[in-house]
């Protein structure tokens, strides 16, 4: 097997994704677990780039890392401060880590040629060889997605409702945080 830059980048992004996921379930500090979740989501965005899906990679970074993970971090910081408590140690992390390793092993056996020898059956993914031709692919551009969202039967109204809901949640978090400072 020849190591191309795509294969090296795949291994790096896969290691970021899997390592971040492993660290999420094994971290004792929930704040650090949220940071490792962001690292895992960044690795997933890198895998989307390798799959020639830049729109999905951008959505992954903007929505999941930029919005949801930051929202989780804000929630952790605000609730910890309001409650005045530290978070106790999660006693189930060894079981979660073991379950993750077992599932990774099963996927490794099923999806790679290594599993063919062990299982005695060709369960691995049928990857195209150099002589195979790629199937015809029709690409949907970001412009077409935007037009579909903004048409009459699109998602303009739900999108605006969600944006108002998120804005009101942010204002509520600011009010709750400021009331503590005033007291």
Q: Are 12 and 42 in contact (CB under 8 A)?
A: no
Q: Has residue 183 got a pLDDT over 60?
A: no
CA atoms of 101 and 21, how far apart (whole Å): 11
- Structural tokens at position 175: 């009010």
The two three-digit tokens of residue 150, written as one number:
């903004």
This model's pTM is above 0.75 = no
pLDDT tens by residue, 16-35: 999 999 998 888 888 888 88
Question: Model confidence at 116, in pLDDT bands (50, 70, 90)?
Answer: low
Residue 145 C-beta-side C-alpha neighbours within 13 Å: 7
Sequence-distant (6+) residues with CB within 8 A of 30 are: 76, 87
Token reading at 46? 């890198």
CA distance 156 to 45: 26
For residue range 43-84, list pLDDT tens digits in order: 999 999 999 888 889 989 988 888 888 888 777 777 766 555
Report the C-alpha gap between 161 and 139 in whole angstroms: 30
């Amino acid at each position: 097997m020849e190591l191309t830059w795509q294969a090296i980048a795949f291994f790096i992004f896969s290691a970021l994704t899997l390592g971040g996921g492993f660290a999420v379930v094994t971290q004792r500090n929930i704040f650090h677990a949220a940071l490792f979740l962001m690292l895992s989501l960044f690795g997933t965005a890198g895998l989307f780039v390798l799959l020639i899906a830049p729109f999905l990679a951008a959505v992954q970074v903007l929505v999941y890392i930029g919005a949801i993970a930051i929202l989780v971090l804000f929630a952790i910081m605000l609730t910890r401060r309001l409650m005045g408590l530290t978070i106790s140690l999660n006693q189930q992390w060894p079981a979660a880590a073991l379950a993750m390793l077992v599932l990774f092993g099963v996927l490794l056996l099923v999806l790679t040629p290594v599993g063919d020898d062990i299982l005695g059956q060709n369960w691995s993914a049928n990857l195209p060889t150099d002589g195979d031709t790629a199937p015809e692919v029709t690409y949907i551009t970001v412009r077409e997605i935007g037009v579909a969202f903004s048409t009459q039967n699109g998602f303009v109204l739900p999108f605006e409702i969600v944006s108002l809901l998120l804005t009101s949640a942010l204002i509520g978090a600011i009010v709750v945080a400021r009331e503590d400072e005033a007291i």
